[in-house]
Structures are given as structure tokens and as C-alpha cells.
């Protein structure tokens, strides 16, 4: 079964954005790059104190660091234009970075070390990972069709979520503007059906019957 959307796109806006981000970041995966994986994730870590969310994220990564998990967060909306049938929204695109570099929590896990410099497939540290992600995503149009209802990706902030002896997690939050417009009027078939229902409830002598008969071609 296929679903139709007012945007005319084949997928919902959220799906378009998440899948596009994963596709762009896939260039950093081994053997060409240094990421073990780029992981679609269906949850959200809200802040540094969200211990349950951090535990869920660590489970999702499952020892695949260095990795980036890609999720979607809140969407806020406001009316667009007049009439109430259009809206402009801001959707959060969330990138969770994981490094388990055990050589050193600064030179190695944060900054690139000699091992990272010697091999493109080695963990380069979070500074390199986060910079590369911005360079790949910033300004990209993740929607289909391009220049449609899903606008360009914008970077908003970076923040640390957790640092332990085994893993460090950082979050990059991006924003994507989306627009949605729904039709004020129903389809022709629905409209004719509704008119026919009204006509059937009117007295036989009503002038509306002639109008409906001509409109439906009966």
C-alpha cells in the first residue's frame, strides 16, 4: 500500500530528512573512511543528565564506535500566510557522535593522534568527526524533490552528553525548515458526493436538484 502526501513527495518529510542525512554521512564509513557505522536511531537523548537516554544510545551503538547515530527530534510550527491551511515548521536533526578511543581521552578521543594521522580508517577523534559532519550536511537540501517543501540543513549547536572510560558521546543539533500546505477544498469526487448527499435531503421540488443532475451528468 502506498501513501499520498500533500507535498506530493513519496515519503514523509521526517523520513526524507533522516535518510538523506544518513546517505550523506555514509561517505565517512569504512573502508573509505573511519566510521564503523552510521546508525538510524529512533530515540532522543535530551541533555547531559538524561541517563536513560544515554544508556539507550550506548546500547544502539553496540560497540560500533567510532560511529554516528542519526535521529530526529522536536518540530515546532507556525501559520504560514493567511487562511490557516499552510504552516512553516522547524524540525530538529540530531547527530550523536561516539568515540571509544582508549589511547587518551584528549589526544585520541578528542583530537587526532599519531594513529589517526597514519591511517584514514583509524578513529580520528571527535573534533575531526564533528567537523566532517558539518561540512557534509551544512546547506544540503535533504528533500525530494530538491527545493521543495524541505529546506536546507542548518547547524545550531554542539554539546557533550557523556564521557566515561569506555566512550564519549557528543550531540550536534541541526535545524531543517519544512513547509506544509493542505487543500482548502476537497477533491472533485468528494465534493460531488457531498453535493449529491445534500440534494437527496432536499424536497423534490427544490431547484438544487436540477443543478446537481447537470453537474454529475446524469
**Cα–Cα–Cα angle for 136, 116, 168, rounded to 5 degrees:** 70
Q: Is the CB of residue 162 less than 8 Å from the CB of residue 169?
A: yes
88: domain CATH number is 3.30.2000.10
Q: Tell me the backbone φ, ψ of residue 169, rounded to 5 degrees.
A: -120, 130
What pTM was estimated for this model as a whole?
Answer: 0.82
Examine residue 197 and state whether it is found in any structural domain, yes or no: yes
Q: Are residues 191 and 161 in the same domain?
A: no
* Cα–Cα distance measured from residue 13 to residue 150, given in angstroms and rounded to the nearest whole number: 7
**Residues linked to residue 74 through DSSP beta bridges, in sequence order:** none
Q: Are residues 19 and 92 in the same domain?
A: yes
**What range defines the domain where residue 80 resides?**
13-181
Percent of the chain surpassing pLDDT 90: 64
Q: Are residues 79 and 138 in the same domain?
A: yes
Q: Are residues 29 and 78 in the same domain?
A: yes
pLDDT tens-place string over residues 171-181: 999 999 999 98
CA-closest candidate to residue 133, choices 173, 74, 75, 105: 173
Q: Is the CB of residue 80 less than 8 Å from the CB of residue 89?
A: no
pLDDT tens-place string over residues 16-66: 999 999 999 999 999 999 999 999 999 999 888 899 999 999 999 999 999
Number of domains in the chain: 2
Q: Are residues 30 and 79 in the same domain?
A: yes
Q: Is the CB of residue 177 less than 8 Å from the CB of residue 141?
A: no
Q: Are residues 31 and 113 in the same domain?
A: yes
Amino acid at each position: 500500500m502506498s501513501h499520498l502526501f500533500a507535498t506530493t513527495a513519496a515519503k514523509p518529510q521526517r523520513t526524507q530528512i533522516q535518510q538523506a542525512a544518513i546517505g550523506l554521512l555514509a561517505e565517512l564509513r569504512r573502508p573509505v573512511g573511519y566510521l564503523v557505522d552510521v546508525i538510524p536511531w529512533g530515540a532522543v537523548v535530551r541533555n547531559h543528565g538524561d541517563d536513560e537516554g544515554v544508556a539507550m544510545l550506548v546500547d544502539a551503538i553496540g560497540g560500533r564506535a567510532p560511529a554516528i547515530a542519526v535521529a530526529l527530534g522536536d518540530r515546532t510550527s507556525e501559520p504560514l500566510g493567511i487562511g490557516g491551511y499552510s504552516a512553516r515548521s522547524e524540525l530538529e536533526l540530531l547527530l550523536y557522535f561516539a568515540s571509544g578511543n582508549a589511547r587518551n581521552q584528549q589526544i585520541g578521543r578528542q583530537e587526532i593522534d599519531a594513529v589517526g594521522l597514519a591511517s584514514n580508517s583509524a578513529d580520528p577523534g571527535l573534533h575531526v568527526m564533528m567537523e566532517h559532519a558539518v561540512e557534509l550536511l551544512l546547506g544540503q537540501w535533504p528533500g525530494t524533490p530538491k527545493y521543495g517543501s524541505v529546506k536546507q540543513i542548518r547547524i545550531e549547536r554542539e554539546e557533550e552528553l557523556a564521557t566515561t572510560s569506555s566512550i564519549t558521546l557528543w550531540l550536534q543539533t541541526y535545524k531543517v525548515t519544512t513547509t506544509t500546505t493542505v487543500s482548502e477544498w476537497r477533491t472533485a469526487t468528494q465534493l460531488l458526493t457531498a453535493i449529491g448527499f445534500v440534494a437527496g435531503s432536499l424536497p423534490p421540488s427544490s431547484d438544487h436538484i436540477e443543478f446537481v443532475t447537470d453537474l454529475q451528468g446524469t
